[in-house]
Amino acid sequence: MLEWELIIVGAGPAGLTAGVYAGNRGLKTLILDSAEPGGLLAAMYSNKTIKNIPGFPDGISAGDFAGLLKEQAEKAGAEIRKERVIDISVEKKIKTEESEYISKAIILAVGASPKRLGIPGEDKFARIGLVVYNLSSPDEFSGKRTLIVGGGNTAIEAALALEKIAKVTLIHRRDEFRASEELVDKLKGSGVEVIYNTELKEIKGDKKINSVVLFNKLTKSFEKEIDAVLLTVGLVPNTEIFKKIGIKLTEEKYIMTDQAQRTNVEGIFAAGDVTGIFNQVCVACGQGAVAANSAYKYIKKPYWV
């Protein structure tokens, strides 16, 4: 069993920032993630320009920022391994598909995954790429009648991005968007068809999508011809694996922490989207730094603590 002082589960902004701080503090640090470093920045939004990260007045692409975080964590001394964690214990033992590890402290920075609707046809067409949960490949929608579901910034940004190459319909279950006023104003001046008070109930077709069944609170059910579907209906935390070790979760299944990012299990900390606190990159980075500092104090017990 391989021994480390600190193991960070998750290589998104929170995990990588924790790696920077832990490495700079001299902790023998391992970062584990089943995907490429960067979390959702790399997996879903790599081409998106992020405009609210301090220090980048003109913004920076999500992919570039993820790359910089990875580079910085490695320069600080943290080691990053692409391994899927399949088990974790209160004794701070971690099992992946390749190895087994033990550490003095753990930071859980596993983030969240796109939420699924669980409707008929969703899984079938998701398997062949006609239902997707991010806009990582906009060109795949070219010339297609595209339905976007959602009411936040991501949904409107996607609609505006695809408007030039596809026939876009955006539906939202409420009568107003929760996105920024700037984006809503841009949407109003676009050619995107917007349908309020409407939910997606079914995706129909054989080898390809032919139509969708929509339910409007005012006009009831109706069918619409569609070729592709983009679902941007929020995120769900990746916390299922932690139930057995007794980590306290909120009703929405996010990990509960105190101000020092400590969970209720001694020596285990959490940071980033998995805590459900204002899911923004800068917040995740801040929580990662706090978690690393708390882990350092827990492991080293310096005189000033």
pLDDT at 218: 85
Q: How many CA atoms lie within 13 A of 43 on its CB side?
A: 18
Mean pLDDT along residues 301-305: 75
pLDDT score at 305:
60
pLDDT averaged over every residue in the chain? 95
pLDDT of residue 51 exceeding 70, the answer is yes
pTM of the model: 0.89
Percent of the chain at pLDDT exceeding 70? 100
- In the block, which residue shows the tokens 């391989």? 2
Output the pLDDT for position 156: 97
pLDDT in tens, 250-285: 999 999 999 999 999 999 999 999 999 988 999 999
What is the rounded CA–CA span in Å between residue 218 and residue 231? 22
pLDDT at 304: 72
- pLDDT cut 90: percent of the chain above it: 89
Q: What is the DSSP letter of 288?
A: H
Pairing mode, if any, of strands 112-114 and 235-237? antiparallel
pLDDT category at 45 given cuts 50, 70, 90 is confident
42 HSE (CA, 13 A, CB side): 19
Lowest mean pLDDT among 38-42, 94-98, 156-160: 38-42
Compute the distance between CA of residue 248 and CA of residue 274 in angstroms, rounded to an integer: 12
In this predicted model, what pLDDT tens digit does every residue of 162-208 receive, in sequence order? 999 999 999 999 999 999 999 999 999 999 999 999 999 999 999 99
In CATH terms, the superfamily for domain 122-231 is FAD/NAD(P)-binding domain (3.50.50.60)
Please name which of 24, 89, 67 lies closest in space to residue 267, comparing C-alpha atoms.
89
Helix (H, G, I), strand (E, B) or coil at 160: helix
**Residue 86 pLDDT class (50, 70, 90 cuts):** very high
Q: In the chain, which residues fall in CATH 3.50.50.60?
A: 2-114+235-300, 122-231
Side chain identity at 217, as an amino acid letter?
K
Name the β-bridge partners of 131: 229
Assess contact for 112 and 235: CB atoms under 8 A.
yes
**Cα–Cα dist 143/187, whole Å:** 20
Q: Would you state the CATH architecture of domain 2-114+235-300?
A: 3-Layer(bba) Sandwich (3.50)
Helix crossing, 153-162 with 181-188: angle to 10°? 30
Nearest to 212 by CA among 220, 223, 198: 223
